[in-house]
Structure 1
Amino acid sequence: MAQGSVLAATFLAHAKVRFLPPADTAVFERLLLQAWETARAQWPAVALPAEPFVTHLAERLPEESPHTPVEPLLEQLSLAELYLACACARGIASAIELFERNYLAKLPGLLRGHKQPEAMIDDVCQLVRVKLLVHTPEGGPRIEEYTGRGALLSWVRVTAVRVSIRLQASEKPSLEEEPDAALEAMPAPGVDTELDLIKRRHHTEFRQAVREAFSTLSADDRHLLRLYFVDQLSMYELAALFRVNQSTISRWLKTTRQTIYEETQRRLEKRLGLSHHDFKSFIAILQSRMDMSQLLSEETKGDDGGPRS
């Protein structure tokens, strides 16, 4: 193919459906160049080269008859919004800023229109942002799944509604309202005579002490724990959500766990008359049987939480 037909060659190499390209390669090249220029004109602050955009476009071409000319296929797509989505998927900061301003910022109002619970709207918006914009070790951001067939805002709204439905269906209480949610998220204890004795004697006091310890945390700390333990965002996702590095998230979680540990210790020592040594023995038994170290120890074991369901 001629040297001046780079875009046409790129498009043909990445198209996943059959179509009828223009017989004249130069015409095809101009068509693709015009598509890129038209899309770019809508977002002049976003610098996305033509070749990756054409690749992105080819991979999302709608499937029709193999004898369908490419022009009407391109006309079915929202080129400008595909351009923005492609730039966001590539991590271009100006594109992400525009996406947040023009799309994500409208989500709260759209969700209220769907009569979503007010207390859940902020969580849904944050989870949608992570879902759509964050690269994870498992794969690229979900905004890559936008095909350009339909308005991008409608697609984002549908994504948000699905996230909201999933959160409501899980019926998991908020840590801000019920700190036992973190305890319930832990594996259930096995059968053990010593543990059963402790549970019968001190289970109520222990859970009450943890509940009171949670109440001493700031709203931000409780929200962080909800995202980590209840919504099961990974360290990687939390770092992207709060726009800090993973070591900062690890430090925040470690500090918060230490606060819970110390506040629980203070209350149980007073309530049960335990010595400092007895308290450590008591907690050690709980940790070894109930895997409670994520809440009650300063150790960072288990910081790399699993992916969200």
Structure 2
Amino acid sequence: MTAMQTRPQEQAKPSKKTSLIAEPGLMRTVALDAGNYDLKYWDGIGNPSAVRSMRYQLPTGRDPVKFNDSSPLVELADGTRYHFGMQAYKYRRQQQTVVENKVDLSKLHLYACLEPGPLEDGLCRLSVNLHVSTPEPERHRKLIKEQLLGYHEFTRNEIPFEVTVERVEVEREGLGAYRTAQRMGLIPDTGYTIVIDLGGGTWLSRLIDSDGEVIDENVMDRGGSYDLATSISFDKRLANALGTTADPGIIMDGFRSGHVYADTGHGWEDWLDEYLDSWYKNIFRMVKSQYTPFMPRVTRFLVTGGSSHLIADRFAGFPLFAVMPDPQFANVRGLYPVEELQLCMTTN
């Protein structure tokens, strides 16, 4: 038994944070932004958390490597086990959400992101209101609700859960970031705002008027930073240095850690611009083409999403552009209902 593998009875004493969120049988509100790169979640208290959006399904006879809240081990009622997060890299043939349909994984993603409240005889019982986002809610709302509403039994990090999801609100991805930007004073009072959300697998844009209404939008199923990483993975300069084919998923991790491929010391920072410039310029070319009739009234381009840090420096000094601070969590912060957020802040 390791320090990271804590048995349920050792976690029975709730932390101060947990006691503020929910007592057994009480309702917890959770915002969940299940992205292709990260699963982001927030209960309104403290800072949002993230789990790398990859997993490994353990064979029956395989012991897991270490697990914790950022790399949780989830066991379903039928005994099927999944290890999420960065620890999944320690197995062979891990599955990455970025190459799958994340809507089909809604239930598993919820289990990975529900941290325990106070335990009762080693069991965590929760009632949950969920606020989730998806790029195309009208297309996927029914399936998401079918997966999430109702009663769930599972084990997370050796703690058994009994969860009743009472309500699921499904919103457009990117609107949460827009609301977060409003709270920060980044959105002008007049004119139109174009939100450009650069994700791992996808990117999208929304044209929003001063009343907060979406009046036009474009959702691209591909073209996120995974496409950029895939292009870099085929470059012989990296493949020759590694002596093998590069994994786009590991390159995506390197986008956040000095553009180095894992712990090899080999990277692509010196020639990144050869790929980066064409990647983001193509996105903005499509945005401009989509919203050409509205451009005279656009008073803000809001750049957000977990991949926006790659191009943030391109917009320095341009007053029309604003890049969200902490863009990885901008959407999940805005998903959380403001009235309950104010209550949490008051209670805290």
Q: TM-score of the superposition, structure 2-length normalised?
A: 0.28
Higher strand share: 2
Structure number with greater CO (CA < 8 Å, separation at least 6) is 2
TM norm structure 1:
0.30
Larger helix proportion of the pair = 1
Q: Greater Rg, structure 1 or structure 2? A: 1
